[in-house]
Amino acid sequence: MVSLLGTSSSSILSCPRLSSTPLTSPLCFRPGNTFGGKLYRRIQSETKKSRSRHHVLVTNVATGINSIEQLFWGLLGKKEESARPVYPFAAIVGQDEMKLCLLLNVIDPKIGGVMIMGDRGTGKSTTVRSLVDLLPEITVVAGDPYNSDPKDPEFMGKEVRERVQKGEELDVMETKINMVDLPLGATEDRVCGTIDIEKALTEGVKAFEPGLLAKANRGILYVDEVNLLDDHLVDVLLDSAASGWNTVEREGISISHPARFILIGSGNPEEGELRPQLLDRFGMHAQVSTVRDAELRVKIVEERACFDSNPKEFRESYLEEQMKLQEQITSARSNLSGVEIDQDLKVKISRVCAELDVDGLRGDIVTNRAARALAALKGRDHVTAEDVGIVIPNCLRHRLRKDPLESMDSGIVVTEKFYEVFS
């Protein structure tokens, strides 16, 4: 049974390292049997070729290439060697609060993402991108550019939904949750999707080429330096985050597709503030600070030097821990629906939000979801007050009204109010 040490929001799960040299790692793992991005179920049959009955064709060359690449490397088992090496999540030293927020969002994507703010060079981007190895697999409709869920209509594209209504059998495949990077210099057409110029010129048809929002459906959309993002792209993200759908109006094309993703952003508060409308869309907010302990800094430098000199060997040394953590996440996702939270705890959570004068009800909803996800991560089917105390600062910190004369960190304000209400 996994146990939690401490009651602060920066404490997660702890266990000793397997080797003789101790490493500060906040996570305790359970044995697992799977790891990596293998396709463990192949496509049942080839997709039947047929003309679309719609006037607008949907093409996605990138998705087709990715599917073929996944199948190819899955069969050969060499994707690990060919892909650019990623720093292992289990090797990240410290930054417990950030890692906990990321794991909870993977367990329950409906939490709404996480905003990570902190000093430069504190491992924000490294930690987010290291999450790729731990992402579980999901079932998608083969060849669909939107990663449609064959069973959930909310995550289905229009064409897949029509095929289901007709009673057609869908070819499905298993693939890892996708992580899409949104560059600061991306154009609106690349993000939302646009008309396929090549098909328009060569075939004389209006074809829609999906963008990054389509690729991120049912996955993760990561924006580094999100506080520097152009306003027109912020508006696009706000619209998609609010509705879960992306609507494109381009050169006579009108099309909507599902765009439900985990929004992860990172940035340095010294470089600019984030628009309040977008900040409120992030379910959780994690603050990252520079490590001050000299021995811990040396440990981080040595670990990074080992990774840079021999990434393959370094990753293999953490393979067992990565596998155990991935198994823990998969188990938590499957058990999440059975986790319960008492009515008394729900009332106290809402009391904290009300007394802190939090606008809206997103704070209440996210805190309940995050507490249930934490209980599932710890292998329990019941939420405790301790679970709420760990996640509530991250769920409410960014929702408090700004007071220019207030010198106390907003997370501390939330924690003090929690103890006042829950005592």
pLDDT in tens, the chain (423 residues): 344 433 344 444 443 343 434 433 344 433 344 333 333 333 333 333 343 434 444 544 444 444 444 444 444 344 444 467 889 998 988 888 999 999 999 999 899 899 999 888 888 888 998 998 888 888 888 888 888 888 888 888 888 888 888 888 888 888 888 888 888 888 888 888 887 777 767 877 777 788 898 888 888 999 998 888 888 888 888 888 778 888 888 777 778 888 888 899 998 888 888 887 788 889 999 998 888 889 889 999 999 999 999 999 999 999 999 999 999 999 999 999 999 999 999 999 999 999 999 888 999 999 999 999 999 999 999 999 999 999 999 999 988 877 665 656 788 889 999 999 998
On whether both 270 and 384 belong to a single domain, the answer is no
Catalytic residue among 163, 333, 362, 369: 362
DSSP 193-261: EEE-HHHHHHT---EEEE-HHHHTTTSEEEEETGGGS-HHHHHHHHHHHHHSEEEEEETTEEEEEE---
Task: Give the Cα separation of 221 and 217 in Å (integer).
Answer: 9
207 and 65 in a common domain: yes
* Final residue in a domain of this structure, among 292, 327, 352: 292
Is residue 281 flagged as an active site residue? no
**Residues 268 and 172 grouped into a single domain:** yes
Residue 62 lies in a domain: yes
Do 68 and 151 have their domain in common?
A: yes
Q: What is the token pair recorded at 342? A: 């008492």
Exposed, middle or buried, 319 (CB in 10 Å: 0-12/13-18/19+)?
middle
Residues 267 and 356 in one domain: no
Last residue of a domain, one of 258, 275, 292: 292
Domain membership of residue 50 (yes or no) is no
Same domain (yes/no): 69, 165? yes
**Shared domain check, 358 and 287:** no
Residue 10 lies in a domain: no
> What's the CATH code of the domain at 229?
3.40.50.300
For residue 216, what are the domain limits?
57-292
Same domain, 238 and 355: no
Overall residue count recorded for the chain in this entry: 423
Indicate if 288 and 346 belong to the same structural domain.
no
Domain count, the chain: 2
Q: Indicate if 202 and 116 belong to the same structural domain.
A: yes
